[in-house]
């Protein structure tokens, strides 16, 4: 768990990256040495933006490969300017923008015998899932449970997001779960 000061610093790095992106069209590159150890640790994160109640961008990484503060700065810029579902952010939207950071735990493979077994193991509101089969792959953050509260519906929509049919099932289907520490400002 991150303390309040670390959360404040991550939110500051995310906002700075977006403001810098509006002015310079590139992300900032904060120096990890300027931040406390928890923000220098390699962790994966997602940044989600909402303009009023409308999704304005959500970009992140499922696997840790860089210091958390850099991952958040990169993903804040990506959510604002590179999410293919949304137009690039405009300066006039900034005052009404809400930013959420989700810091991910390491994914843990799930073991199940069939779809019903998998559904019984899901923890609504807690689990983020990574689903893959062949070249198809998709993820839902735990926050998606708010709009898809039933495990079957959650799994069906995740399959569709991955490019599979909602009824898809195979012996090569892989699912991992993770949890997030989410906060915003």
State the average pLDDT over residues 5-15: 97
Share of the chain above pLDDT 90, in %: 96
Tokens of 165: 């049919």
Cβ atoms 106, 115 nearer than 8 A: no
State the average pLDDT over residues 71-88: 97
CATH code of the region 108-178 = 3.30.1490.150
Three-state SS across 91-141? Answer: HHHHHHEEEEEEEECCCEECCCCCHHHHHHHCCCCCCEEEEEECCEEEEEC
Query: Predicted confidence band at 29 (pLDDT cuts at 50, 70, 90)?
Result: very high
CATH class of 4-104: alpha beta
Tell me whether domains 4-104 and 108-178 share a fold.
no
Enumerate the domain spans of the chain.
Answer: 4-104, 108-178
pLDDT for residue 100: 97
| CA distance to 93, 133, 134, 165, per residue, from 170 (Å) | 44, 8, 10, 12
Is 68's pLDDT higher than 90? yes
Residues with Cβ < 8 Å from 164, sequence gap 6 or more?
A: 133, 136
Query: Predicted confidence band at 27 (pLDDT cuts at 50, 70, 90)?
Result: confident
State the average pLDDT over residues 16-41: 95
The pTM score is: 0.89
Query: Predicted confidence band at 21 (pLDDT cuts at 50, 70, 90)?
Result: very high
- Radius of gyration in angstroms for the set of CA atoms belonging to the chain, rounded to a whole number: 17
pLDDT in tens, 119-175: 999 999 999 999 999 999 999 999 999 999 999 999 999 999 999 999 999 999 999
Query: Predicted confidence band at 185 (pLDDT cuts at 50, 70, 90)?
Result: confident
Is 75's pLDDT higher than 90? yes
């Amino acid at each position: 768990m991150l303390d309040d000061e670390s959360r404040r610093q991550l939110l500051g790095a995310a906002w700075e990256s977006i403001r810098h992106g509006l002015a310079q069209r590139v992300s900032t590159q904060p120096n990890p040495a300027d931040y406390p150890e928890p923000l220098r640790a390699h962790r994966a994160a997602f940044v989600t933006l909402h303009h009023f109640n409308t999704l304005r961008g959500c970009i992140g990484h499922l696997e840790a490969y860089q210091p958390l503060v850099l991952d958040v700065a990169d993903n804040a810029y990506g959510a604002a300017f590179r999410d293919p579902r949304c137009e690039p952010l405009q300066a006039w939207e900034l005052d009404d923008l809400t930013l959420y950071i989700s810091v991910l735990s390491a994914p843990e493979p799930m073991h199940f015998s069939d779809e019903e077994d998998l559904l019984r193991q899901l923890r609504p509101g807690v689990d983020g899932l990574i689903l893959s089969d062949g070249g198809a792959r998709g993820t839902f953050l735990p926050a998606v449970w708010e709009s898809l509260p039933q495990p079957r519906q959650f799994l069906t929509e995740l399959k569709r997001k991955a490019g599979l049919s909602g009824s898809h099932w195979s012996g090569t289907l892989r699912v991992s779960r993770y949890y997030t520490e989410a906060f915003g400002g």
